[in-house]
Amino acid sequence: MAIVLGPNRYGKAETRVVRVTKDAGVHHVKDCNVSVSLSGDMDQVHLSGDNAAVLTTDAQKNTVFAFAKKYGIGEIEEFALTLARHFVDSQPTIRHARVEVEEYGWDRIPVQEAPHLGLRAEQHSFVRNGSEVRTALVHSDGSGADESVVSGLTDLVVLNSTGSEFHGYIEDEYTTLQPTDDRVLATAVTARWRHRSAEAATAFGRSYRAARQCLLEAFAETHSLSLQQTLYQMGRRVLNERREICEVRMAMPNKHHFVVDLEPFGMDNDNEVFYAADRPYGLIEGSVLTDDAPDPLFAWE
């Protein structure tokens, strides 16, 4: 029986970088978490411990910081592409780079002017907006021929207080859930969408905002008979309206809201008071894609 080395990669995970851009006294903040994975002609580091082909993970971390200074951080997809292409183009042993970026949003704190201080605090004071996290995942071989860009978000928390039903499901000897034609539907959406090419969505910021809005509108406008149906309608809306996107993948936990029994206290409860349970929860996952979507290659890994 022969034993061989299989596919492998290595890199620096979760480099937190905060870039402050100063524009005539007005500051702009980009707060990101960057993970890099590299692969290529590196068998010997595993087989014999020869590190000659290895770009250190410390150098990868330092590159993130240096590029944040040199190029700034605009759209995270563009920053990830710049990093990925650099790693492949600069080192002959590196054939493939995977770069994943998470972006954490900050809003300005509105305050009154303080002329006695000679400044306005809203120019440099921020509060974490508590909203979803924007994500980007890029693969590159340096040539541009084998590149993929996946944008997305996590923890987009949404809720419909009505307009959701659930009935007609299998009922076996262990089923206790009662059918309903009016329930709260709530979830924390993790969505990722694949661009047809790195060039197909060069306006990544506009594309992201439009896709996010599609997700929200479809969630709000769908009279839901199941969370699965809602997931499909959300993905379908993105693909119908954004031609640069060819596939959407989503994970949507069902954040259960149970009607509280208030009869012991002599009160009715017409879907007004709920117990929000955090676990266990149903987890709905699925993908929606166009029939002409190109081969995903390594886009999602």
By percentage, how much of the chain surpasses pLDDT 90?
84
Q: Any catalytic annotation for residue 195?
A: no
Burial (0-12, 13-18, 19+ Cβ within 10 Å), 14: exposed
Question: Exactly one of 86, 195, 255, 256 is catalytic; which is it?
Answer: 256
Query: The pTM is what?
Result: 0.91
| DSSP string computed for the chain | ---------B----EEEEEEEEETTEEEEEEEEEEEEEEES-HHHHHT---TTPPPHHHHHHHHHHHHHHH---SHHHHHHHHHHHHHHH-TTEEEEEEEEEEE-EEE-----BGGGTB-GGGT-EEE---PEEEEEEEE-SSSSS-EEEEEEEEEEEEESSSB-B------TT--PPPBSS--EEEEEEEEEEESSTTTTS-HHHHHHHHHHHHHHHHHH--BS-HHHHHHHHHHHHHHH-TTEEEEEEEEEE--EEEP--GGGT---SS--EEE--SS-EEEEEEEE-TTPPP-TTTT-
Q: Given pLDDT bands bounded at 50, 70 and 90, which one contains residue 135?
A: very high
For residue 269, is pLDDT > 60? yes
- pLDDT tens, position by position, 76-86: 999 999 999 99
Q: What is the mean pLDDT of residues 279-283?
A: 95
Domain 155-301 classified CATH 3.10.270.10? yes
Task: Round to whole Å and give the CA distance between 48 and 55.
Answer: 17
Catalytic residue at 70? no
In this prediction, residues 141-148 reach a mean pLDDT of 81
> What pLDDT is stored for residue 113 in this prediction?
53
280: preceding bond cis by omega (within 30 degrees): yes
Tell me: pLDDT of 64 over 70: yes
Give 301's pLDDT tier (boundaries 50, 70, 90).
confident
Per annotation, catalytic residue among 27, 28, 57, 93: 57
- The model's confidence at residue 297, banded by pLDDT at 50, 70 and 90, is confident
Q: Quick one: average pLDDT of 254-278?
A: 94
Question: Which pLDDT band holds residue 198 (cuts at 50, 70, 90)?
Answer: confident
How confident is the model at residue 112, as a pLDDT?
Answer: 60
In this model, does residue 115 exceed pLDDT 80?
no
Q: Alpha carbon of 56 to those of 65, 91, 92, 93: distances in Å?
A: 15, 12, 14, 13
Tens-digit pLDDT profile for residues 161-180: 999 999 999 999 999 999 99
Two tokens, residue 132: 């979803």
Q: Is 22 exposed, middle or buried (0-12, 13-18, 19+ CB in 10 A)?
A: exposed
Average pLDDT, the chain: 92
Query: Residue 251: which residues within 8 A CB-CB, separation 6 or more?
Result: 189, 190, 283, 284, 285
Q: What was the pLDDT predicted at 257?
A: 95
Fold of domain 9-111+125-146: Urate Oxidase (3.10.270)
Return the higher-pLDDT residue of 293 and 145: 293
Report the pLDDT averaged over residues 16-42: 94
What tens digit of pLDDT does each residue of 215-255 get? Answer: 999 999 999 999 999 999 999 999 999 999 999 999 999 99
In the chain, which segments carry CATH 3.10.270.10?
Answer: 9-111+125-146, 155-301
Q: Which two tokens mark 75?
A: 């759209």
Taking residues 84-105, what's their average pLDDT? 97
Catalytic residue check, 22 = no
**Exposed / middle / buried, residue 25 (Cβ in 10 Å: 0-12, 13-18, 19+):** exposed
